[in-house]
Structure 1
Amino acid sequence: MSFCTLLLLLLFVSSACASHYYGGTLTFTPKGRNPDGSFRVDIRYKETYHVCYSWNSWSCSSGNCGSYNNFQIGPVDRSSSGNSWCQSEAFMTRKIPSDKPFEMRSDTGEPNRSPVTTIPSFLRVPQNCARTYNLVAHDPDSDQVRCRFGSLSTECNYCYNYPGFHLDQNSCTLSYISTSNQRAHAFEIVLEDFPRQPITLSYTDGTSTVKSPLHPSRRRRSVWQTTTTSPPMITSHWPWCSPLSKIPLQFAIRVDPPVSSCTEGQILPLFLYPTPFNAETLSATVNQELEIRLNATATFSQVNNFIISGPLNITKYTTTHGQFAECLIRWTPTENDFGEHVPICFVAESKLGSSIYHSEMRCVIVVVGHTFGEANVICTENTMTVEVEKSSIIGLHEDHLRLNDPTCTLTSNSTHVIAAMSLNSCGTQLEEDDENLIFKNEITSFDKITDVITRKHEVEIGFSCVYPKKGQVSLEFKAHKIPYVFTEKGFGKFTYEFEFFSNYLYNSKVDPSNYPVEVVLKDMIYMEIKATSSLANTVLFVESCRATPYDDPSYHIFYNIIENGCTMDETLVVYSNNNTKYRFGMEAFKFIGQYDEVYISCSVILCQAGDPYTRCSRGCVNATASPVVHHHHRRSVTSETSRHFISQGPLRLKRSSDSTVSNMALNMNLVFIAGTLLAAVAMVCGVVIYKIKGMKVKYQPLPSNDF
């Protein structure tokens, strides 16, 4: 019996020991040989019961399963709403006498690793709402993973495929269409991994075997003749090939009574920014805390919880603000997690009366690496600067580095690579906890500025500045954005200021303490964008402006005010300007629906005055017009800066009552940053990940990793 089958049996034996079992999963990672010649295997498994259990009861049904010398277990998440449950994860290290189950792959030179997966073991869906669950089927070796229902006695207990549900084996998506049964449905699924090309598996006893990929194109077609006049019956036979490994995934979905609306964001929760998208890959560092922030809303129900499924020692902190709720997930990887691909899934939960509703399920993969790089972070009142020693990271070059905002480049001297920015520019993200404001950004590498993938060495260096919310008061920090600071070759350091004014004379700027700015529908709002540069003869160009209900210019709900240098809003008025100031106004409006605030984001460029070939000189470009072709001229790379996005807000519709409306932009608090900033904490965590296609995994005591 193969070890992968034993793993399924072990999980089944363990889960059968207690009632109210809701589900679980199991994955394994070979970790090489022990000093005594035995083989080490790390096993992680999850189990969900009616209550939390902390036992380690296993049986070996066949063969030599070895012994364990390390065992840890702890709760991942629990719930007392509706059907109470508790999911726990255990980590176990086993000593196996033979590597027969853990074959050495010819393509990687390393033992095969099983797929990784996880899932909240108890999910809910209204009877009348179709939903698709993208099951985590990630393979660290990049193998093809197939998901199927368990069919053997060693794979499942009920071995049942419920009507109204459909499992796509290749994409590992489970779709709920409809069913008449309002109850819990137990799913027992098996994940199998297959190589993408033929490989040879070798063992220490000298034997070997060949494994083939699972190719749909290799199916054989058979034609069965019938005795009737109907067309021949054609069936497809797929060549059977055994998987490299297989692991269990068991969970329950409860079909609840119908709901009046299946639209997410009304009764069913809707995820909002900055919640990660499904299937995102995140980087984490050994002994460095990883944070994942979730945000969800529902108009007619109250989002009051987030259900998570992740690794041992993961924690969550949930806060609610009316129709919105936020969750901060924290996890600190240990040395045992180095090199692991760790899945984390999450679901938002809301209540309406006694009814409970779930959002879609999203999952991310966290790749754990080591920390490298010597860096210094300088935090000031309005800016942060990070200096990274070139000698500490191999292949570090400023021409192939960027910040969260790809338009922000870095500078360097003979010893350091330097990034300087204001607290609200270059894609800097603002997070907060009960005591601090945390400004975060990251230096990453790229091949070309337009690329979204890379096959070269990847550098990721995260850094942050932490400011206490209360201290010696010298600066009030609210929603108002401070000047944006950028640095580019040929232009040096330059800033953009985006401000609201009280009248068309532009002699009364709205005080930062009065943000959010309250407006009345159809009243004029007056805005000014000002550029400041150490270079003379520069000109500011506002290429585009758009309004969004959140401080995210890429949010899917938006309204274009200026596009390609052309005015789009019929109420827009452009006032007298000069080369470095752009003043404009428009009538106030609000977004239709449950949106209380409006943010204005603009794309701006700074150019050298007098150069006829810059974007600034072209002005309004009609999308339907033919592009202007210039012959024998090439614009210098220092004639204009990159496009930079700046924003200001929020604008809020003035209420007839004096009731206070919370400000969602900064968790609705007026916070104070210590004037001396002595309490500010600079943090840097660099992850240098070397990804080289076709090479085996190598672990070296160098400031780089291959995996």
Structure 2
Amino acid sequence: MSPSTPVLLHLLLLVSLASAGHFYGGTMSFTPKGRNADGTFKVDFRYKNTHDWCDYEGWYCSTGNCGSSVKDVRGTIDSSSRGRSGYNNQWCETETVETKDIPSDKPFQLLQNSCCWIPTVNGLLSWSLETQVDLGTRSDTGEPNRSPVTAILPFIRVPQNCQRSYNLMAFDPDGDRVRCRYGLVRPECDRCDQPSGFYLDQDSCSLQYGYTSTSGVYGFELVVEDFPNQHITLSYTDGSTASPWPTTTNTWARWPTTASPLPTTTNTWARWPTTTTPWSSTTSTTESLYSSTAPLSKLPLHFSLLVDSIVPSCDEGMYLPRFVQPTPHNGEHLHAEVNKELEFRVKAEATHSTVNDVIVSGPLNITNHMTTQGEFVIRWTPIRDNLGEYFPICFITEGLSGSSVYQSEMRCVVVEVGRRKVKAKVVCDETKMTVEVEKSSVTGIHEDHLRLNDPSNSACDLQRFSNNTHIIGVIPLNACGTQIEEDDDNLIFKNEITTFDNPNDIITRHHQVEIQFYCQYAKRGNVSLGFTAHRDSITVVEKGFGTFTYQFEFYQTSQFTNMVDPRDYPLDVVVKQMLYMDIEAVSTVNNTELFVESCRAAPYDNPNYHPTYPIIENGCIVDETVQIFSPRHQRHFQFGMEAFKFIGMHDQVYISCSVILCEAGNPNTRCAQGCVNSTSPQPAGHHHRKREAAMQTAKHHISQGPLRLRRSSESSVTNMNMGLMVGCIVAAVAMLCGVMLYKDKTSGVKYQPLTTFET
């Protein structure tokens, strides 16, 4: 065997390992949890790893006394079948929460390393994650030092021709300044490579992609560090103290702390050059300051980024999904309470791809599901051990166009787990939700200034059942502005208690409390629920007209032969889809005709809700898309119009009409007048004479819905079956669930107008 043979075999082994690599990235953070009775320090370590499969990696002590593990909890955060192309498209992110008893508060280091990264353009092989821990008591807070909390999606992708900025989550609970940098030396990293085509702004922890000529997966080995805003000392139980110590040379500050103007290019479809050009090779004054100060903590932040094939357009909202309301803003801080479910919603739109997935990285037990309205609901319930901690949650939506996968921007929020503020409970049964809120937990708010989504119905008055100690609401599932939502497995009925200044106001700038609650019912059950979203016909008795009934139904086509099944409500439609409606008066009295004086659209089934969108007003067509299909002077009114949506967060729309039954052929009736300009005066005494002669009935209101507007880019319209075969046995798992969500709105603004109309 020649001397070169072992070297060759070694190289072949490395190539083999790299081609079968499975590591996508990993992170770590730690939180001091107090002292034990024996004087040791209790610390929680949270570390995430992402592999081709759901795997868990252990850490070992590198330097110092790292203590002993007393408990660890493991679980899967998220997984996907849309990973790297080639060897394996699967990836899975897991998290381990390990509790350690540490004998001393002196600094130590933890390490995790193994082989191998997934195949990367920048040739990473083994991975190496290092964490530096210092539990010294800070002179500025009087508490042990805490690490920053970090998060990133383990696998992100960007089209080769699209510039994009990724704001990496790095938040420090102690208020320290956080910086992100490339790893420079082992064991911070393997190759310690700084991929070309990318720029890392260290102060803002922002990674910017410009352009690279080589598509494929790039591995990033970053380090997150925190620095105090002022001179502090760290005190230890052995009597020693330390300050963040100076170093003599600038060993890692290679890039400017402020973003330099991006280079120009001669490339015809990318603004950045195809060759690598450093933005700057100088060292700033701020860098010199940081280079002479040692960090309090050091954490790994490793992840994979796929530079994908080019896309016809980089404009968000076309191929690349664009976030819309009610998606939280990047960096937004959310408040959560122990044992109370936190919920926030993510929604994205794209005209040339179908948004059908969300990727989430967050704490253990976080869940997400997609509703039939195209929103993604992310939920997490903190436990008692989470009190006082901060948790980052990052998310990206994905759209499909053929075999191509396109991702939105990445957004991250920080969740602070605090003490319980509002004490309340929700009880769900077959037809209603009952919510009880302890008055003592809602300070400074009188029950006279609290209401439900739609308080117009007397059954929705919160003062009706409230007592000296509790605010009590008994809310029917189909009233009080209750909104209906569903996913593949559950039906969800939602409402909220909010403050108001004046009952007639639609906006307020003193919105101090928002208590959201809902009941969740499994679709598959053994009891039929006595509720339907479909609105029943209305039966009326009037002198001279006897007993008659108004019916309001939707139809499939303008032929009015196939009525929409009542079990299919709420009806899912797309914007600009034609809707066909028929209002019929069924009466035993001959020689009568129906007149539709007005029709309006509102987000709630309430004819007095204001403002609404007018469709027909005073017998006149207001909406330009309305088409009338029935002749005058009969007991059917058949019409159609294009579907629309209200601007804002309202997910459903009801159509409510004011109708009159008249004596046919009588020129003195309102039916005979037809379209009347609202500014035209009516003959004096007209109303009095027609009522005496029983020529027409009083006005009656009839409604139908709800309609739920889906995005027009979706390929089909699906009517979800809402006949509601629902289990209502409380003992059955996931059959009934009442949930409270509280938001402190003291400094916020709640705005609920419906004054604009979007076609």
Instruction: Tell me what 1:477 maps to.
Output: 532
- Identify which of 142, 151, 176 aligns with 1:109: 142
Instruction: Tell me what 1:260 maps to.
Output: 312
Cα deviation for residue 528 of structure 1 reads 4.0
Q: Quick check: 1:465 aligned with 2:514?
A: no
Instruction: Tell me what 2:641 maps to.
Output: 588
Normalising by structure 2, report the TM-score.
Answer: 0.58
Letter of the 2:298 counterpart? K
Q: Quick check: 1:47 aligned with 2:102?
A: no
Instruction: Tell me what 1:337 maps to.
Output: 386
Cα deviation for residue 342 of structure 1 reads 1.7
Q: Secondary structure at the match of 1:27?
A: strand
Deviation string, structure 1 residues 125-182 (Cα, Å, up to 9, x no partner):
1101222212112223344333333334443333333332222333322222222121
Contact 1:467–1:673 at 8 Å: present in 2 too?
no
**What is the alpha-carbon distance in structure 2 between the residues aligned to residue 366 and residue 155 of structure 1?**
28
Deviation string, structure 1 residues 318-352 (Cα, Å, up to 9, x no partner):
68x8xx86655454433332332222222223444
- Identify which of 350, 355, 358 aligns with 1:306: 358
**What is the alpha-carbon distance in structure 2 between the residues aligned to residue 340 and residue 446 of structure 1?**
33
- Identify which of 417, 421, 439 aligns with 2:493: 439
Instruction: Quickly say closer, same or farther: Cα 1:589–1:390, change in 2 above 3 A.
Output: closer
Q: Quick check: 1:364 aligned with 2:413?
A: yes
Cα deviation for residue 300 of structure 1 reads 4.2
Instruction: Tell me what 2:79 maps to.
Output: 78
**What is the alpha-carbon distance in structure 1 between the residues aligned to residue 537 and residue 737 of structure 2?**
20
Instruction: Tell me what 1:22 maps to.
Output: 24
Normalising by structure 1, report the TM-score.
Answer: 0.61
Structure 1 residue runs without a partner (length 5+): 1-15, 213-218, 220-232, 484-498, 503-508, 532-538, 547-560, 574-584, 603-619, 621-645, 693-707
Instruction: Quickly say closer, same or farther: Cα 1:650–1:51, change in 2 above 3 A.
Output: closer
**What is the alpha-carbon distance in structure 2 between the residues aligned to residue 39 and residue 251 of structure 1?**
31
Q: Secondary structure at the match of 1:46?
A: strand
Q: Secondary structure at the match of 2:215?
A: coil
Cα deviation for residue 79 of structure 1 reads 3.0
Between 1:185-194 and 1:289-298, the stretch displaced more is 289-298
Instruction: Tell me what 2:105 maps to.
Output: 99
**What is the alpha-carbon distance in structure 2 between the residues aligned to residue 59 and residue 404 of structure 1?**
55
- Identify which of 677, 698, 717 aligns with 1:661: 717
Between 1:430-439 and 1:459-468, the stretch displaced more is 459-468
CA radius of gyration, larger in: 2
Cα deviation for residue 283 of structure 1 reads 4.1
Cα deviation for residue 197 of structure 1 reads 5.4
Cα deviation for residue 264 of structure 1 reads 3.7
Letter of the 2:412 counterpart? C
Instruction: Tell me what 1:699 maps to.
Output: none
Letter of the 2:47 counterpart? Y
**What is the alpha-carbon distance in structure 2 between the residues aligned to residue 310 and residue 372 of structure 1?**
24
**What is the alpha-carbon distance in structure 1 between the residues aligned to residue 710 and residue 79 of structure 2?**
38
**What is the alpha-carbon distance in structure 1 between the residues aligned to residue 224 and residue 406 of structure 2?**
28
Contact 2:533–2:706 at 8 Å: present in 1 too?
no
- Identify which of 700, 707, 716 aligns with 1:649: 707
Instruction: Tell me what 1:491 maps to.
Output: none
Instruction: Tell me what 2:468 maps to.
Output: 414
Instruction: Quickly say closer, same or farther: Cα 1:304–1:513, change in 2 above 3 A.
Output: closer
Cα deviation for residue 34 of structure 1 reads 1.3
Letter of the 2:315 counterpart? T
Contact 1:137–1:172 at 8 Å: present in 2 too?
yes
Instruction: Tell me what 2:203 maps to.
Output: 170
Contact 1:376–1:684 at 8 Å: present in 2 too?
yes
Instruction: Tell me what 1:187 maps to.
Output: 220
Identity %: 49
Between 1:354-363 and 1:272-281, the stretch displaced more is 272-281
Deviation string, structure 1 residues 357-405 (Cα, Å, up to 9, x no partner):
3222232333334557654546577764422233467767547867789
Letter of the 1:268 counterpart? L
Letter of the 1:463 counterpart? F
Letter of the 2:707 counterpart? G
Letter of the 2:98 counterpart? M
Instruction: Quickly say closer, same or farther: Cα 1:179–1:399, change in 2 above 3 A.
Output: farther
**What is the alpha-carbon distance in structure 1 between the residues aligned to residue 50 and residue 146 of structure 2?**
24
Cα deviation for residue 102 of structure 1 reads 1.6
Q: Quick check: 1:87 aligned with 2:89?
A: no
**What is the alpha-carbon distance in structure 2 between the residues aligned to residue 132 and residue 285 of structure 1?**
32
Deviation string, structure 1 residues 569-593 (Cα, Å, up to 9, x no partner):
77899xxxxxxxxxxx99834569x
Between 1:251-260 and 1:394-403, the stretch displaced more is 394-403
1:35-434 to structure 2, matched below 5 A, reads 35-60=37-62, 62-81=63-82, 82=85, 83-100=89-106, 101-196=134-229, 199-208=232-241, 236-238=284-286, 239-240=289-290, 241-271=293-323, 275-291=327-343, 293-296=345-348, 298-317=350-369, 327=376, 329-369=378-418, 375-377=424-426, 384-391=433-440, 398=447, 413-419=467-473, 423=477, 430-434=484-488
Between 1:379-388 and 1:90-99, the stretch displaced more is 379-388
Letter of the 1:180 counterpart? S
Cα deviation for residue 93 of structure 1 reads 1.4
**What is the alpha-carbon distance in structure 2 between the residues aligned to residue 123 and residue 303 of structure 1?**
16
Contact 2:358–2:395 at 8 Å: present in 1 too?
yes
Cα deviation for residue 38 of structure 1 reads 1.2
Instruction: Quickly say closer, same or farther: Cα 1:146–1:451, change in 2 above 3 A.
Output: farther
Cα deviation for residue 317 of structure 1 reads 4.9
Letter of the 1:661 counterpart? V
Instruction: Quickly say closer, same or farther: Cα 1:39–1:542, change in 2 above 3 A.
Output: closer
Q: Secondary structure at the match of 2:70?
A: strand
Letter of the 2:362 counterpart? G
Deviation string, structure 1 residues 75-108 (Cα, Å, up to 9, x no partner):
3223343343222211111222222322333444
Contact 1:481–1:648 at 8 Å: present in 2 too?
no
Letter of the 1:341 counterpart? Y
Contact 2:338–2:384 at 8 Å: present in 1 too?
yes
Instruction: Tell me what 1:638 maps to.
Output: none
Q: Secondary structure at the match of 1:588?
A: strand
**What is the alpha-carbon distance in structure 1 between the residues aligned to residue 144 and residue 439 of structure 2?**
35
Contact 1:306–1:346 at 8 Å: present in 2 too?
yes
Cα deviation for residue 251 of structure 1 reads 0.8
Cα deviation for residue 70 of structure 1 reads 1.7
Letter of the 2:102 counterpart? I
**What is the alpha-carbon distance in structure 1 between the residues aligned to residue 536 and residue 392 of structure 2?**
36
Letter of the 2:155 counterpart? F
Between 1:680-689 and 1:21-30, the stretch displaced more is 680-689
Instruction: Quickly say closer, same or farther: Cα 1:374–1:344, change in 2 above 3 A.
Output: closer
Instruction: Quickly say closer, same or farther: Cα 1:380–1:235, change in 2 above 3 A.
Output: closer
Q: Secondary structure at the match of 2:385?
A: helix
Cα deviation for residue 121 of structure 1 reads 1.3
**What is the alpha-carbon distance in structure 2 between the residues aligned to residue 409 and residue 171 of structure 1?**
49
